[in-house]
């Protein structure tokens, strides 16, 4: 929270709400004139591989733990198989604890040519942490991933989208290239803090391009798979039409089940029919956009 006082917002002077909004904000748009290799549009798939850590944070219920296990035991393999079939790379954001639990899976992901991204330590609530505590957890996660993967991640996705006031500085302090947790645009942009460029590139996510919006257990029935396919397809097709980026976030335990995996299969088939669609990792996209703002 930027502000602890209890005055209602409608009593605030302009500088106060301006300051709140300006802490971290989308800056210069980074959509390039052409994508790598002269491509017309780009597709960047990502998976959040969280395994049992959500259930651990939620108190350790055995049924919930088993549901988290499903993602790594079944869902991930289905997803990886489809990517291999179509020779499409992806970025896997993984909390350190899930990486430690699933070392073999992580190695297989890397062997498949995919990118590994940071996703915190164990689902920590960054908003409740001091800058030091957040930095220590992310830094520890970076070390853990490096130890397992033999390389340093260059990107991060805030656990549970809990991008804090310190997250940008923590990411820059670790020399990261990009973040992928915010939603101000469909296209990559410069992340600013207090009006100044942070040097960090944002590869924005969105609720519409995230399977958890439609399938995460909670109140109410999950969405019909046909409707979700339709949404993802439209997002892809309009991104292509605009010459922009189609970014997608998937969760192996949600979309990796038998009645939903076809959504990804059909989507990848459509992607393969679109001439000039560059299929890239989030890091590839961030590197390409860096400094190419406006082409």
In the region spanning residues 64 to 103, those forming contacts with a second copy, defined by CB under 8 A, are: 65-67, 69-70, 73-74, 97, 100-101
Q: Which of 88, 141 has the CB closer to a second copy?
A: 141
Q: How far is the CB of 24 from a second copy (least distance, A)?
A: 5
- Determine the 3-state secondary structure of 87 from DSSP: coil
Instruction: Using the Cα atoms of residue 254, residue 258, residue 264 and residue 266 in order, give the sign of their dihedral.
Output: negative
Six-digit token string for 61: 């219920």
* CA gap 11, 29 in Å, rounded: 33
Q: How far is the CB of 187 from a second copy (least distance, A)?
A: 9
15, 37, 38, 62: which one binds a second copy (CB under 8 A): 62
Applying the rule CB under 8 A, the residues between 241 and 260 that interact with a second copy are 242, 257-260
User: Do the strands 277-279 and 90-94 form a parallel or antiparallel pair, or are they unpaired?
Assistant: unpaired
Q: How far is the CB of 257 from a second copy (least distance, A)?
A: 5
The pair phi, psi for residue 190, each rounded to 5°, is: -70, 135
- Determine the 3-state secondary structure of 292 from DSSP: coil
Applying the rule CB under 8 A, the residues between 105 and 124 that interact with a second copy are 121-124
**Residue 7 binding a second copy, by CB under 8 A:** no
**Residue 270 binding a second copy, by CB under 8 A:** no
Q: Which of 199, 225 has the CB closer to a second copy?
A: 225
**Residue 6 binding a second copy, by CB under 8 A:** no
Q: Which one-letter DSSP state was computed for residue 223?
A: P
Q: How far is the CB of 281 from a second copy (least distance, A)?
A: 21
Q: Which residue has the tokens 């088939």?
A: 269
Q: How far is the CB of 49 from a second copy (least distance, A)?
A: 15
* CA gap 243, 173 in Å, rounded: 33
Applying the rule CB under 8 A, the residues between 189 and 218 that interact with a second copy are 204, 206-208, 213-215, 217-218
Q: Of 105, 101, 97, nearest to 123 (Cα)?
A: 97
User: Do the strands 196-202 and 189-193 form a parallel or antiparallel pair, or are they unpaired?
Assistant: antiparallel
**Residue 184 binding a second copy, by CB under 8 A:** yes
**Residue 8 binding a second copy, by CB under 8 A:** yes
**Residue 181 binding a second copy, by CB under 8 A:** yes
Stretch that binds a second copy, among 40-48, 63-71, 105-113, 277-285 (CB under 8 A): 63-71
- Determine the 3-state secondary structure of 180 from DSSP: coil
**Residue 139 binding a second copy, by CB under 8 A:** no
Calculate the alpha carbon distances from 64 to 52, 68, 162 in Å.
Answer: 8, 6, 22
**Residue 165 binding a second copy, by CB under 8 A:** yes
35, 163, 278, 288: which one binds a second copy (CB under 8 A): 163
Six-digit token string for 68: 């988290």
Six-digit token string for 37: 């290799």
């Amino acid at each position: 929270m930027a502000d602890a006082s209890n005055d209602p917002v409608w009593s605030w002077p302009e500088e106060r709400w301006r300051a709140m909004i300006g802490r971290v904000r989308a800056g210069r748009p980074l959509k390039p004139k052409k994508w790598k290799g002269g491509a017309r549009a780009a597709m960047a798939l990502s998976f959040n591989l969280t395994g049992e850590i959500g259930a651990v944070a939620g108190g350790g219920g055995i049924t919930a733990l088993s549901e988290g296990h499903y993602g790594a035991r079944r869902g991930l393999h289905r997803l990886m198989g489809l990517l291999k079939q179509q020779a499409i790379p992806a970025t896997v954001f993984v909390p350190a604890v899930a990486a430690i639990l699933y070392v073999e899976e992580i190695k297989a992901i890397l062997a498949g040519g995919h990118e590994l991204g940071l996703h915190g330590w164990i689902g920590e609530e960054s908003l409740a942490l001091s800058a030091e505590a957040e930095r220590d957890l992310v830094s520890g996660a970076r070390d853990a991933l490096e130890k397992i993967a033999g390389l340093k991640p260059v990107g991060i996705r805030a656990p549970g989208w809990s991008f804090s006031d310190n997250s940008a500085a923590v990411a820059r302090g670790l020399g990261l290239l990009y973040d992928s947790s915010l939603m101000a645009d469909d296209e990559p942009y410069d992340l600013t803090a207090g009006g100044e460029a942070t040097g960090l590139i944002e590869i924005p996510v969105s609720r519409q391009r995230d399977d958890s919006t439609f399938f995460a257990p909670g109140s109410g029935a999950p969405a019909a798979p046909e409707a979700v396919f339709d949404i993802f397809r439209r997002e892809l097709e309009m991104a292509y039409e605009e010459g922009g980026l189609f970014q997608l976030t998937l969760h192996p335990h949600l979309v990796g089940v038998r009645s939903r995996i076809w959504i990804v299969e059909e989507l990848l088939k459509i992607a393969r029919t679109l001439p000039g669609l560059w299929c890239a990792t989030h890091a590839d996209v961030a590197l390409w956009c860096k400094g190419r703002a406006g082409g």
